Chains A and B, each alone.
Chain A
Amino acid sequence: MGLVNNQRAYDKHLLWQGGEGNIVVGDSVVGFRFPVRIPNFRGNYLSCIEEFSFALDGQALDPDKIELVLNGKRFRIGDLPQLFAEYWYVLDVGIIEVLHDGGLQGKHRIDATMKLRYGYSAYFGVCKVVTSKCSKEYEF
């Protein structure tokens, strides 16, 4: 069970548009960023994100080099499961920032996967976890 996302209409919005680019500090390009939405009809607690992983041109990105910028704060991907008091409002766009020396130039493909736990769905003692996948080509 759980192979098919019956609420998949929102999956294609996981990778959003607007705000993609490189992270420049002084004279150095230290990474890149791109926008993300929560792929569900409602907002959710960050602690309900069981997986939030990314690949660049088919190569998995190291989660230790990724942060989510949301609600005016920065969160390490690995810390999301602990953030039960942090809510992602459904209309808010998050920014994923990736440390990547030199940044990116030109077109690149990003693949994103989010496993989201529906905290209200324990109809028979277990919460449903839904996987959303999305791919998008950005111009950096």
Chain B
Amino acid sequence: MRAGEVKLGVSLFSYSSVFYLGEKSLTDLLKKSKEAGAEGIEIVASQMIPGYPYPSREWLRSFRDECEQLGLEPFCYSAHLDSGLRSDRWLTEEEKVLCTVNDLRCAKDMGASVVRTQQTISPKLMYEIAPWAERYGIKVGVEIHPPHTLSTDVWQEFIRVFEDIDSPYVGIVMDLGIYQEYPYDGWINVYASHGVSQATIAFLLSALKEGQPLAEVLAVLEKQNASEYAREMAQEMFALYRPYRPDQLADVMKYITHFHTKFYHMKNGEEETIPYRQILQIIKETGFSGYLISEYEGHYVYDEQTVSCFDQVREHIAMERRLLNA
């Protein structure tokens, strides 16, 4: 990849609902990705790969070959690091390393360039992971995801560790969900369906926009004798959404393996809850080389009959291309 070259891809996770219902096969999803304009794909292993967490080499190689035949790069093997998978205890540090080495093995067989792992891996383990990543020739990116931000303690520690290791084989998968400023309609409607009034919703959105402290907002709800659903909505909203901090993004750009260009609902060719225009401008200005992987997450609340995931991905890639070329 040339310096400053940005490629557009899609996470097959975007098509979760149609996959779950058996309406589309993995082959169908790859073809749809290509039609939408993707150059590469990311696959969530725990979701779509049979035999996970120990899929067969035959399956992985066959998937790699299928991607390549369709002109798609099998760019990222997206792993979950389920540190809480056991009921009796957390995974040990040794078990986390074993999980990640297994993920690297799978990624190698799949022809992927990156393993996406999660912050549950812990910063200090990156010292053990980096040599394995270098040995396999595959990057390990730790995904930063809401409710975390780059200011969260564990992320300050990850960044310090990445500076110290100074290897291109470990870094950050930047999920743009951390820059979401406001909730999307579908998210709001879930709470409305539990009886949170339009007046309360309007109050919460206004308070969020004005930067009112959560404690004050909860005090108002208490006085109004608001429901526990309204209080939960306030807590979730203030934990997940916040004003955009573009300065921090530029600071960590050199550690970013790729972006999850998260989105929830494309309307008239735009995603309204994340400041894409400003973020893509920084991506261009800093000369970032790599993938923007479109990740549609509206399927959590929208039915496919109401909002088509295929239309959403196509619109999103088109928006990215337009903004990158602007």
Query: Which residues in A have some Cβ–Cβ distance to B below 8 Å?
Result: 1-10, 13, 37, 41-45, 47-48, 50, 81-82, 84, 87, 89-91, 117-124, 127
B residues whose Cβ falls under 8 Å from a Cβ of A? 13, 16-17, 19-22, 44, 46-48, 50-53, 80-87, 90, 118-120, 145, 147-148, 187, 190-191, 194, 228-229, 232-233, 235-236, 299-303
Contact of B80 among A7, A81, A90, A120 (CB under 8 A): A120
Check if A9 sits within 8 Å of B17, measured CB to CB: yes
Contact A127 B84 (CB under 8 A): yes
Among residues of B, the one whose C-beta sits closest to the C-beta of A43 is B46
**Interface contact A84-B87, CB-CB below 8 Å:** yes
List B contacts of A6 (CB < 8 A): 187, 190, 236, 300-301
Q: Is the interface of A mostly helix, strand, loop or mixed?
A: loop
Indicate if the CB atoms of A48 and B85 lie closer than 8 Å: yes
A41 to B296, CA, bound (A): 13
Chain A residue contacts of B236, Cβ below 8 A:
1, 4, 6
Q: How far is the CA of A9 from the CA of B189 in the complex (A)?
A: 13
Q: Which A residues are CB-close (under 8 A) to B48?
A: 90
Q: Which of A37, A81, A89, A121 contacts B84 (CB 8 A)?
A: A121
Is B190 within 8 A of A119, CB to CB?
Answer: no
Other 13 A-B pairs with CB < 8 A, given A4-B194, A5-B190: A3-B228, A42-B46, A43-B47, A44-B46, A45-B85, A50-B87, A84-B85, A89-B51, A90-B48, A91-B50, A120-B120, A121-B84, A122-B120
In the bound assembly, the distance between CA atoms of A123 and B177 in angstroms comes to 15
**Is B301 a contact of A8 with CB atoms below 8 Å?**
yes
Residues of B within 8 A of A84 (CB): 85-87
Q: How far is the CA of A43 from the CA of B194 in the complex (A)?
A: 27
